[in-house]
């Protein structure tokens, strides 16, 4: 039995329709697209949307299923991965979310729901390092991000990269290897000074 990817927030803030559609396939430039089982890239990803976008997606096609505060899209992204949309009460405020769940596990949509609510109920606004990395990847234009190629060591090829400006010049660096200073530079101003949860 293979372990499922971790549940992870990939964008901070409520997305508009353009952002939502862009985040639906934020791995579109990956090497060997569709030649491998890409389920692990998507399963577990989630972000917040507005009510208008939630309702728009509900009206596009009849859902695969509706269960209380959630519904699943009929069209699968890859393998058994599909979009699940939520209407959730978080601290007495109704909010809307999109996620990718692996429906081969009947518990996945419920575990995702619980993880979103738990994450969004944090008493202090904070971001983990992983959330900062994911937000940077989500917010970076395709021209300024990519995947490690022949210029990188063999063990790093295929990993995500982003452009970094500095001395001696501009270069692509591994996303997961960004320093704290580089991460801060790449985050929007309103997110740069949020504490890490451990310090919150």
- The structural domains of the chain, with segments of one domain joined by +, span 8-120, 129-199
Q: Under a CB-based contact definition with an 8 Å cutoff, are residues 99 and 72 in contact?
A: no
Question: What mean pLDDT do residues 177-192 have?
Answer: 89
Mean of per-residue pLDDT scores for the chain: 88
Look at residue 200 in the predicted model and tell me its pLDDT: 41
pLDDT digits (tens, 9 = 90+) for 135-152: 999 999 998 998 988 888
Look at residue 199 in the predicted model and tell me its pLDDT: 45
Residue of 150, 105, 155, 91 whose CA lies nearest to 2: 105
Residue of 191, 172, 136 whose CA lies nearest to 10: 136
Look at residue 3 in the predicted model and tell me its pLDDT: 58
pLDDT digits (tens, 9 = 90+) for 91-112: 999 999 999 999 999 999 999 9
Residue of 164, 158, 129, 130 whose CA lies nearest to 144: 164
CA 173 to chain centre: 20
pLDDT band per the 50, 70, 90 thresholds, residue 169: confident
Q: How far apart are CA 100 and CA 112, in angstroms?
A: 9
pTM for the model stands at 0.87
More confident residue, 171 or 7: 7
- Provide Rg for the chain, Cα atoms: 17
Residue 108, phi then psi, degrees to nearest 5: -60, -40
């Amino acid at each position: 039995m293979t372990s499922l990817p971790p549940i992870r927030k990939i964008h901070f803030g409520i997305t508009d329709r353009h952002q939502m559609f862009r985040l639906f396939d934020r791995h579109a430039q990956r090497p060997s697209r569709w030649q491998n089982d890409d389920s692990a890239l998507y399963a577990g990803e989630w972000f917040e949307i507005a009510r208008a976008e939630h309702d728009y997606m509900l009206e596009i096609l009849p859902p695969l299923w509706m269960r209380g505060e959630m519904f699943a899209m009929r069209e699968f992204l890859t393998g058994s991965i599909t979009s699940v949309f939520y209407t959730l009460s978080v601290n007495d405020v109704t909010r809307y979310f999109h996620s990718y769940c692996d429906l081969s596990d009947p518990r996945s949509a419920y575990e995702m729901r619980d993880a979103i609510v738990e994450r969004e109920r944090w008493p202090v606004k904070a971001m983990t390092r992983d959330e900062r990395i994911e937000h940077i990847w989500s917010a970076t234009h395709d021209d300024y991000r990519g995947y490690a190629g022949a210029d990188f060591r063999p063990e790093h090829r295929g990993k995500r990269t982003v452009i970094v400006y500095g001395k001696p010049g501009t270069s692509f660096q591994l996303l997961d290897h960004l320093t704290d200073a580089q991460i801060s530079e790449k985050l929007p101003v309103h997110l740069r000074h949020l504490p890490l949860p451990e310090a919150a």
